[in-house]
Structure 1
Amino acid sequence: MPASIGAVMPFRYIDIYGWKGDFSEKFIKVEFSRSSKYESRGVISFSGGQTADELNRILELTNHTIEATSFAGVFVDGDRERLPYEADAYINQLGWFANVGDVTVPRRTFEYLVKHPSWPTEWQAHMIFMAWADYLQTGDIKFLRKHYDWLKTLSLEEAISESGMVDVTKISPELKEKLKVTYPLGDIVDWPPSQRDGHEMLANNTVTNAFVYMGFKRMADIARALGEESDRSRFSDLANSLKAVMEAKVRGQDGLYVDGIGSTHTSAHSLFIPLAFGMVDNNQRGDVLKTLATKVGSYGGGFPGSVFTAQYLLEGLFESGEDDLALALMLNKTERGWMNMLNKYDATITHEAWDVQFKYNEDWTHAWGAAPANIIPRFILGINATEPGWARWEIKPSKVLTFSAKAKIPTPHGLIDIMYD
């Protein structure tokens, strides 16, 4: 750790055996570290029944996670590694904006990752997502301009192979060198591997290419914001072309995406990642949602993917009007949900995996599990910026909000103060 912080060891509780006589809390001194930029400005509380109480517990868990994992002044990937990773940082950033509103820590994390990128193919797109989230929050075009050329490299435009998709086995050494990736570049889909719902890891991977597609879409948005019209048009064309190729090459006989070129298997991830990214057309949406509901049922009502991909499954469900299923997943009592962390482990910070049985060396301080910190304000309260810098915003409460809520949502212009009765 930096010298200014010193040694940091997260702990949950201490058992003291054999103490004679009374024991006072004055006998214990606890020191903690968090970012100097952390200030709990965003507050949400629900009332009116069991669902409200359980959402409050999950919010307390995920919001404290955002606070506690800021101790290094950047978003770190748990205590085992203590390094920023792109996907983790993006989910952390969204929760940080909802809680704190500060841009310093997210930007410092982004700048670190520009110099020290990590290896998963899909993680490259998350830097584009982070840059766009920064612009929506701040309206600051200078940050986009500063990193624009690097974001173009991260789009993986240069990695489209003769198949018309990104083939991870054919990414050139020259591009890998440009990307500054020190480990072998590879698709991850989900982590740990046991949480991929049997996804076939093929070279032309549906999930990877869905992330590339969304990266192209966001790059078109960024190019538009910067007035780079030729780039905007090119990235829009790249997105449309990639979607068309995937429609032709990874669409199964049942009309659903399979896991990649040559696959006959459809994992949950090949359904909900494209769904979250707007790749599922209206005439296909019903079948995708029906199959997803079946997948969830096969896991006893728990998440069919990991803690990380819960972000995208929930986004896809809420954006498709499946608010009831999304809420049921958030509150599910199986071993594959946040209530398991709370009830079984008395968690105060979200875990790397849903349960130790899924990852023997799982980290108990992992902010990529803190999706509810952003999902609840964005989709249950329905508060979102519709123009960069919150110049305009909307509130569209979910149909599942059948109980009362009070909230303060930080924006660059001050707090949005909400009471929902």
Structure 2
Amino acid sequence: MKTSTWILLIIGFLNQTIVLAQLPPIFEATRAPQAQTEATTRRYLPPVRILWKTPNAAIQNEQVLLKPGNGQADLSGKDLCRLKSTDTQKPGLLLDFGKELHGGLQIVTGMWPGNKPITVRLRFGESVSEAMSDIEPTQNATNDHAMRDLIVQVPWLGKLEIGNTGFRFVRIDVVDSNVELALKEVRAIFIFRDIPYLGSFRSSDTLLNQIWETGAYTVHLNMQDYLWDGIKRDRLVWVGDMHPEVSTINTVFGYNDVVPKSLDLSRDITPLPQWMNGISTYSMWWIIIHRDWYRQHGDLKYLREQREYLVKLLELLSTKIDEQNREKLDGRFLDWPSSENKEGIHAGLQAMMVLALQAGAELAGILGEKAAVSTCEEALGRLRRYIPNPNHSKQAAALLALAGLMPAEQANREVLAVDGARHFSTFYGYYMLQAKAQAGDYQGALDNIREYWGAMLQLGATTFWEDFNLDWLPNASRIDRLAQPGQKDIHGDYGAYCYVGFRHSLAHGWASGPTPWLTEHVLGIKVMEPGCKVIQVEPHLGDLTFAEGTFPTPHGLVKVKHTKRPDGRVQSDISAPKQVKIIRPKQ
């Protein structure tokens, strides 16, 4: 070949290379600094049990699905689960992955005659009964927010990944007639933030330990790209619901950017005078969360970014008081169980105004906004002149006590302690516990935690639920078993308002209140100055013989261990980073 020909070939190759390097602008945009990156990671988990299969169906070797897999189809044809359908029988399996998860499903297939895809139906469920249900109105199974009941095709000798929801159980049914589905693997795709559990709690009561851990895990699952309230339904940023979740995050994980990211989203999509999520209390919770976040992390730069919105929101709230010093808010809501008690809602809103304006005054003072501080103080002075009746609402009584509008001892005696944990709620249960602590009824609060949150665990829960009522307990089925004849289906037969039947979320972050409560009041760890520069330790063991744990600060972990002596006094051993001053308990 002539030299000139080589030169022409080389030039042509170089030109081709240059052309190939000139990628479309839309591709280049993904390389920009502002391009979003995933905050979550993925793990693949095999099921731990096969709970059910179609009776008398042609199903072979299903136990192979319980083995760890590698996600790779192969030509060996070995160790395959086979489901053979006919014109009259369509085989199916119900898999249990052992614990509530967020994510989807990976299906790896083998070979079958015809080399064509096979149609299957997938049903994800937070309970056994939900995974076995149909989309129909009787028990309200839905595909709201996330697809959990869908028909798809799986490839011959390949892999399909599908689903993005909250679940523990998955049912797989063959839809096509006269086919043989060969399954090599069916694994859960677990999507979560891979972050350490820095906080911890351990005591002489294993039930309380499990409750603390379950609250932490429930919130962890909801820490996705944003901080959601539920991983199956309510995959949204609900600002009020965030408050117990942020309290749990501060207690367990320390700083995580999912919190400011979610707070800022709510601010940016809610121009004033609108309320966040259309609810006045949720804008107030936004203020309270910022106060708590600043106390924990001491991030003045981030707080300053809220200045303009915060000042205007405080001004707006100050206008929502009538001539009798009563709140006159719209967007009226505390939580669902209290939503029919108008007097209770009014009392709760009056208290929320006080709590929000107190937090707002504190933040405005830090920001040097003297006029905003004066606005808050004037409004607080007016609100405190009017004390509404809680009307037997535990939600309202708790808020009135925390706002200082009602003596905590009176609120506890007359409302909160009546009938134990009956009329508790998963969301406002946190504030009921806080008010009981303010009243000095630590033992009563521990009993309520065991009775209410412990009952969910006894029913098979691995995460805490959107709602729960102790009246549901008699003759109720567990969520990890099929209801037997005569039993009530705890998932499908109960629920109200927006969470009737299977629409009810069984992994709701607002239900995590016992986790921060146990750390704050049993371990006794309370932040006294921004950035955890000063922490007070004042344990309340109640009937526990010991309690120990850790608490994350911006400077490292505070570690405590409290042991009850034979004379009833508590011995406390405490260690902390040198940047954290500890106010120690009296021995």
TM-score > 0.5, shorter chain as reference = yes
1:126–1:216: structure 2 CA closer, same or farther, 3 Å change rule?
Answer: same
- Provide the residue aligned with 1:30 in structure 2: 188
1:342–1:13: structure 2 CA closer, same or farther, 3 Å change rule?
Answer: farther
- Measured after TM superposition, the shift of residue 201 of structure 1 is 5.4
- Provide the residue aligned with 1:358 in structure 2: 495
In the alignment, is the contact (CA less than 8 A) between 1:101 and 1:410 conserved in 2? yes
C-alpha distance in 2 between matches for 1:14 and 1:130: 43
Amino acid at match of 1:243: R
The C-alpha deviation readout for 1:158-187, integer Å capped at 9, x for no partner, is 32234432323xxxxxxxxxxxxxxxx521
Q: Equivalent residue of 1:408, what SS?
A: strand
- Measured after TM superposition, the shift of residue 349 of structure 1 is 1.5
- Provide the residue aligned with 1:253 in structure 2: none
Count, aligned residues: 367
Amino acid at match of 2:349: T
Query: What percentage of residue pairs aligned between the two structures are identical?
Result: 20
Counterpart check, 1:307 vs 2:343: no
Amino acid at match of 1:397: P
Amino acid at match of 2:297: T
Amino acid at match of 1:349: T
Counterpart check, 1:122 vs 2:281: yes
- Provide the residue aligned with 1:188 in structure 2: 333
Q: Equivalent residue of 1:30, what SS?
A: strand
Counterpart check, 1:341 vs 2:456: yes
- Provide the residue aligned with 1:171 in structure 2: none
Report which of the two structures shows the higher radius of gyration computed on alpha carbons. 2
Counterpart check, 1:221 vs 2:323: no
- Provide the residue aligned with 1:157 in structure 2: 318
Counterpart check, 1:209 vs 2:209: no
C-alpha distance in 2 between matches for 1:342 and 1:165: 41
Counterpart check, 1:15 vs 2:51: yes
Structure 2, unaligned runs of 5 or more = 1-35, 54-58, 69-184, 270-275, 470-490, 564-587
- Provide the residue aligned with 1:176 in structure 2: none
Give TM-score, length-normalised by structure 1.
Answer: 0.80
- Measured after TM superposition, the shift of residue 44 of structure 1 is 1.4
C-alpha distance in 2 between matches for 1:401 and 1:131: 35
In the alignment, is the contact (CA less than 8 A) between 1:210 and 1:273 conserved in 2? yes
More helix by share: 1
- Residue in structure 1 matching 2:255, options 93, 99, 102: 102
- Measured after TM superposition, the shift of residue 396 of structure 1 is 0.3
Amino acid at match of 1:328: D
In the alignment, is the contact (CA less than 8 A) between 1:87 and 1:123 conserved in 2? yes
Counterpart check, 1:287 vs 2:410: yes
C-alpha distance in 1 between matches for 2:49 and 2:431: 33
- Provide the residue aligned with 1:111 in structure 2: 264
- Measured after TM superposition, the shift of residue 125 of structure 1 is 0.7
In the alignment, is the contact (CA less than 8 A) between 2:295 and 2:530 conserved in 1? yes
1:276–1:395: structure 2 CA closer, same or farther, 3 Å change rule?
Answer: same
More strand by share: 2
Higher relative contact order (CA 8 A, sep 6+): 1
- Provide the residue aligned with 1:143 in structure 2: 302
- Residue in structure 1 matching 2:437, options 318, 321, 339: 318
Amino acid at match of 2:455: N
Give TM-score, length-normalised by structure 2.
Answer: 0.58
How large is the RMSD of aligned CA atoms in angstroms?
A: 2.8
C-alpha distance in 2 between matches for 1:42 and 1:19: 46
In the alignment, is the contact (CA less than 8 A) between 1:189 and 1:196 conserved in 2? yes
In the alignment, is the contact (CA less than 8 A) between 2:417 and 2:444 conserved in 1? no
In the alignment, is the contact (CA less than 8 A) between 1:303 and 1:310 conserved in 2? no
Structure 1, unaligned runs of 5 or more = 169-184, 251-256, 259-264
1:6–1:79: structure 2 CA closer, same or farther, 3 Å change rule?
Answer: farther
Amino acid at match of 1:15: L
Amino acid at match of 1:407: G
